[in-house]
Chains A and B, each alone.
Chain A
Amino acid sequence: MIQAKDLVKRFGDKTALQAMNVTIQPGSIYGLVGTNGSGKSTFLRLVAGVYYPDGGSIQIEGKDVFEQESLKDKVFFVPDELYFLPQSTVEDMARFYADQYSGWDWEYYRKLSKIFPISTKGRLNTFSKGMQRQAAILLALSARCSYLLLDEAFDGIDPVIRGAVRRMIADEAAQRDITVIISSHNLRELEDLCDYIGLVHNGSVLFSQELDELKLGFCKVQAAFRPERDIKEFSGLSIMQYEKRGSLFSMVVKGNSSQVLEYLEQFQPVFTEALPLTLEEVFIHEMEEVGYDYNNIVF
């Protein structure tokens, strides 16, 4: 289990994380979403033991991570900006990590090498961004760590390999019960992969929930009334967004869809329909709630 308690990290005058509290269950795939500069990468670096917290604590299995070799042996961090040893190949990097990680699995590495369409003998500095990212994921999976931290995991990878990587991570999580934290702006990817989602904004977690629960907590409803109704009449609903076109209401509402539809029945609608909400829509609506709304900007 990864647990952050009142976690604070400052960079000079700027506070990147302010009293962040989050608990990530073991064996889960945790998606970390948030706006640019919200503190996702900082959080991952704190979990990886790269940064030392300025306040609070970050613990894995109940122990502080920083400078804990035995804990860090179980954690593999793939940062957003990759770094490889100068003039090194994938093989060189594999040897480098194999020297340091107890769980390194050469057999698995060979197996994965055949799956990823990259040359393990080619110099990494000649690789494209996506190929470098593939190499990093290949190395990360081969280390066979219990905690895998992937920052901008799918950045630059083509859709085919993205799918493969998703499957590999899901398999790893299922078979070895590893904990994966993925930060990404590609919410579609996370939606397919993650069990849990944490939304980070301004250095703190707005919510951290199971994905299904999260999606169930919001619904998009369309309903038509005759005679026409005023939106104020639906005061029993927690409406996050609505749009009215004639007698047709389109609303994003917090809560279970069946409960919402049941509530609307009392107004004798001509037509009602509940639609599932995508993670991206949830994200946008949540961000609007905290004032992160650029829809009304006129260019």
Chain B
Amino acid sequence: MTTTTLSFKKRFFRLYVSTLKQNLGLIFLLTAVTFFFFPIANGIEMLHVMTSYRDDMFQIVLEDSSFYHMCGAADIYGEASIWFFPVYVLAAPILTVCSLCRPLHNRRAADLYNSLPLSRKGMLGVWLAAGMTITAIPLFVGLVCTPFAALLLHYPHFHPLLMLWDFFLLLLALFSVMSIVMLCAVCTGTTFDCVVFSGLLFVLPISLWGILKTMCQGFANGWQISDGAVDTTLGLLFPVAGLVKHFKWSEFDLGGGAWIGVPYILFWAAAACVLYGVSFCYIHRRKSEMSGSLNRNSVLEAIICVVSSMVGGLAIGALFTTLLFLDIEKYTWLSTVVFSAIGGGLIFAIAEAVLSRGFHRLKKQLAHAGAAMLAMAAVSGGVVFYCEVIVEDYMPNFSQIESISVEDDPGLYKMVSGVLIATENARGVTYLENIPLVLHSEDAIKQVYDLQKHIIEEGNLESRYGIDWDKRYSSVSGFQFTYHLKNGKEITRHYYLSSFTLTEEAVQLYGHEEYIRQAISLFNPEYEPYIQELSILDGLQLREETFPNQQQDSQKFQRLLNTLSREFIDMDPNVYYKETETPVAWLKYNYPNTKKRDEYIKGEIISFHGMIPIYTSFTETMNLLIEYGYGNLLELDVSPVKKAVITNSNRYLDSEDILGRTFIAAHYSFAEVRTWIDTLLLEKSQQKDSEENNNDKEEKLYIEEITNQEFLEIIPKMRISTNNTEEWRKETSTKKVIICTNDDYIGRYIEE
């Protein structure tokens, strides 16, 4: 009989088809799960979106895509889908590869497959092709069904081409994840090892990075990784991070686009090609006797054991150090090193026991465990040394700094409700986003530079740990800035500034013109046309008059703002940061928020609300206000005050809402509050005797009604506390006054 030898292509294709047939059950299972989380979940969400609007809104809904809240570049995925995709992309390849690569993990199957007239490389190629097909079919079914669901539900907005693009990205992600699982399958002898190694390879890099980051933040005071660097690191260390970013952050509201997360997906696809290369090279000479045995690639095993020990050791070190509440730096250091070493040895022993399915090899590996402990001591000690000695004190060369962006909370933001910028996304939709202040002038940069230098030199604990409860430091604010260097690098630092350690450098920074003009956008000339009106309030903020920005008053309006900004910039910043003076009046502005987001102009900077204090030193501003007919508001008038009480307690009053900077709490019922205060007064009188007998000063409630004369006397001491950091200052000794009018109430601190 004459036979024609089958070609490699024919054998490859036939084995591929045969493999798919054998795995029809798996395809069906994955499709069923995907169908539930993809078209069905999306359909439910579409239905929800479509029924969320009233009938009269429906036309607007159809015309304005900003009403939709579906996710992804294609505008068609629900929340369930976008969380399902990464899970699927991680789990499906593990399941599929374990099913396909049975000959690598089963001795008998190895006999069958390795005796076939197809090379090992060819077989791996078949498994790769079959694996991709098996995992892609369910997604493809979902991709095809979703538009049908959209048509059925009359959901009008989705982008078929972007759906195809998303599908392609999903395939790339599957390809990447499968490369890791397949490498593990080739390098191990059992399915258990393959799953464990794959899982660890997914988790370990990101865990190690997370622990090192936490350690750096703990030991290097001020060290901060920027959000961009976090994104990049996650994207490069975790194969589905790019996918999560693509689907989650290309939500319509956040203005993403088709390219979000794509660089990471492409990076991983490229890395996958390398991993496949390694797998194909390795399988060519892979020993068949590995199948079904505990033999595995020694390099991969060593990497897994070492990294596991590092992650576990450092995590245990950090955990025990935290549990011990060690405040003294040298003990923290010692504790971290000792517990990391113990943890490293322990995790190494556990890893060894798991991989060898018992403790029989442990005795042989004791030397390795000891080496792991020593290595961990060296690694943790090295990390601590690097953080404390090198990173913590590092400052860039001043001449290399191009600009500094500052994210200061509260800083001058205390006066405004956030500075936002209108940004246009890839699809031409404008949205608002928080922006940091960017300082370019040399002297402003010098202020920040000197501030960091001061903090490094001081090395104060409250800056590092934020709060020293023994000293009752509860007023701490974060101060984060990023040096943008001329060579393109960025260095970010984050410090805590407490009210008692607010340095002269920090205060001077807050008084710098460049800082003020960005933080209070009212003082930015470009902003002026957008303001429709201002409000002028008296010092107690009981009376209020509006100052419209009308055509005929435009010059007056601009003059007032120019004068106020000049005087504000020229004043000593300590006046408002340390609240050494009570304002005589206030200027309030509200940006009209009737404007739809799409109507904002790209690059438009917005601060929606703000309160600017006017001090006695602002003579020109006050003269202008008198000239414009608002002079009455500069005079003290206590006639609206119906009742005033003084208290020292935060336990009975919600200081944040009543005594804080919220001066008009319109959402509270005045009658309710007044009754509440009366009740408190009554309780106070009833408890008087017992309170007096209580020696614990902090426990004593102090609340009493004051006369008009007493009220007038304390007015100069009253502070609105625009500064968050001062809000709770000297909590136990600061008195507060609550002022009740006929229809409102306000809270003020009294400076003692």
Contact = CB atoms under 8 A, between A and B. Distances in A.
Given A11-B289, A100-B11, A102-B4, A95 B18 contact: yes
Interface string B280-311: 00001101110000010000000000000000
A101 B120 contact: no
Contact of A81 (B4, B108, B120): B108
Nearest to B11: A100
Contacts of A45: 111, 115, 288
Nearest to B287: A52
Interface in A48-94: 48-52, 67, 69-73, 75-77, 79, 81-86, 88
Which of B3, B116, B118, B122 has the most chain A CB atoms inside 10 A of its CB? B116
A207 interface: no
Interface in B102-160: 106-112, 114-120, 122
Interface in A74-132: 75-77, 79, 81-86, 88, 95-96, 99-103, 105
Nearest to B114: A50
B48 interface: no
Chain A contact surface mostly: loop
Given A95-B18, A99-B15, A50 B6 contact: no
Contact of B285 (A52, A83, A100): A52
Contact of B115 (A72, A84, A88, A144): A72
B111 A73 contact: no
B11 A86 contact: no
B22 interface: yes
A217 B561 CA distance: 122
B1 interface: yes
Contacts of A103: 1, 3
B22 A86 contact: yes
B111 A50 contact: yes
Tier of interface size on chain A: 20 to 34
B5 interface: yes
Contacts of B114: 48-50
B591 to A, nearest CB: 68
B8 interface: yes
Nearest to B99: A86
B14 interface: yes
B18 A67 contact: no
Interface string B361-397: 0000000000000000000000000000000000000
Given A83-B108, A144-B1, A48 B119 contact: no
Contact of A77 (B3, B18, B111): B111
B99 to A, nearest CB: 9
Given A50-B115, A51-B289, A82 B108 contact: yes
A127 B110 CA distance: 21
Contacts of B110: 50
A52 B289 CA distance: 9
Contacts of A85: 22
A83 B288 contact: no
B18 A96 contact: yes
A101 B117 contact: yes
A59 B536 CA distance: 100
A11 to B, nearest CB: 6
A261 B752 CA distance: 133
A127 to B, nearest CB: 15
Contact of A83 (B1, B106, B122, B295): B106
Chain B interface size band reads 20 to 34
Contacts of B284: 67
A260 B119 CA distance: 55
Nearest to A104: B3
Given A70-B5, A83-B109, A102-B3, A48 B115 contact: yes
B37 to A, nearest CB: 27
Contacts of B14: 99-100
A287 B108 CA distance: 30
A61 B620 CA distance: 108
B18 A79 contact: no
Contacts of B118: 69, 100
- Give the residue among B17, B118, B284, B289 with the most A Cβ atoms within 10 A: B289
A88 B118 CA distance: 21
B65 to A, nearest CB: 50
A177 to B, nearest CB: 13
A12 B290 CA distance: 10
A73 B117 contact: yes
A103 B112 CA distance: 17
Contact of A73 (B5, B15, B287): B5
Interface string B7-27: 010010011011000100000
A177 B109 CA distance: 29
A217 B289 CA distance: 38
B115 A99 contact: no
A75 B115 CA distance: 8
A49 B109 contact: no
B314 to A, nearest CB: 34
A95 B22 CA distance: 12
Contacts of A67: 119-120, 284
A284 B635 CA distance: 124
Contacts of A102: 3-6, 117
B5, B6, B110, B117 — which one has the most chain A CB atoms within 10 A of its CB? B117
A105 B112 contact: no
Contacts of A12: 295
Nearest to A84: B112
A205 to B, nearest CB: 21
B674 to A, nearest CB: 79
Contacts of A83: 106, 108-109, 111-112
A100 B22 contact: no
Contacts of B18: 95-96, 99
Nearest to A77: B115
A88 B112 CA distance: 14
Contacts of A48: 111, 114-115
B476 to A, nearest CB: 62
Contacts of B8: 69
Contacts of A73: 5-6, 117
A75 B507 CA distance: 86
Contacts of A72: 115-117
A144 B295 CA distance: 35
Chain B CB count within 10 A is highest, among A50, A84, A103, A105, for A50
Given A51-B289, A73-B5, A85-B22, A100 B108 contact: no
Contacts of B117: 69-73, 75, 100-102
B16 to A, nearest CB: 10
Contacts of B108: 79, 81-83
Contacts of A11: 289
Contacts of A84: 112
Nearest to B16: A99
A70 B106 CA distance: 25
A139 B329 CA distance: 74
Contacts of B106: 83
Nearest to A75: B115
A69 B562 CA distance: 87
A287 B433 CA distance: 88
Nearest to B286: A52
A103 B1 CA distance: 9
A165 B18 CA distance: 29
28 contacts: A12-B295, A45-B115, A45-B288, A48-B114, A50-B115, A51-B287, A51-B288, A67-B119, A69-B8, A69-B11, A69-B118, A72-B115, A73-B117, A75-B117, A76-B115, A77-B115, A81-B107, A81-B108, A83-B106, A83-B112, A88-B22, A99-B11, A99-B14, A100-B15, A100-B118, A101-B117, A102-B3, A105-B1
Among all A-B residue pairs, the 9 with the closest Cβ atoms: A83-B108, A99-B14, A73-B117, A72-B117, A77-B115, A79-B111, A48-B115, A50-B114, A102-B5
Given A12-B295, A81-B107, 14 more contacts: A50-B110, A51-B287, A51-B288, A51-B289, A52-B285, A67-B119, A67-B120, A70-B117, A75-B115, A75-B117, A79-B115, A81-B108, A88-B22, A100-B116
